[in-house]
């Protein structure tokens, strides 16, 4: 191998390494964009996050939810739903 061949091989190797990094970063970015963002939005909409406060899990915001149903014996006799 001549000096030119070695230089060419080094340039090609450097270009391939740069191309591989570019492909890896593109794949990671696309995974975050197409999986991470919709999943985060879904979890926030249905209040599945770790910091909910007074919100109920699995119920979207601004929906009516009966949190306590203490009707006593009448709940056994009548089906209030």
> Does the pLDDT of residue 37 top 90, yes or no?
yes
Between CA 70 and CA 65 the distance in angstroms is: 14
Q: Report which of 45, 47, 65 is spatially closest to residue 57, judged by C-alpha positions.
A: 47
Distance CA 74, CA 56 (A): 26
Domain boundaries, the chain: 3-77
Helices (H), 1-81: 3-31, 37-45, 74-77
pTM of the model: 0.53
What confidence category does residue 27 fall into, taking pLDDT thresholds of 50, 70 and 90?
very high
**Overall average pLDDT of the 11-29 stretch:** 89
Lookup result for tokens 């890896």: 24
């Amino acid at each position: 191998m001549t000096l030119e061949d070695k230089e060419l091989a080094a340039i090609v190797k450097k270009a391939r390494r740069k191309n591989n990094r570019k492909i890896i970063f593109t794949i990671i970015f696309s995974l975050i964009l197409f999986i991470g963002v919709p999943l985060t939005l879904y979890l926030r909409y249905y209040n599945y996050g770790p910091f909910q406060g007074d919100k109920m899990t699995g119920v979207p915001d601004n929906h009516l939810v009966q949190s306590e149903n203490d009707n006593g014996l009448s709940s056994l006799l009548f089906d209030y739903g």
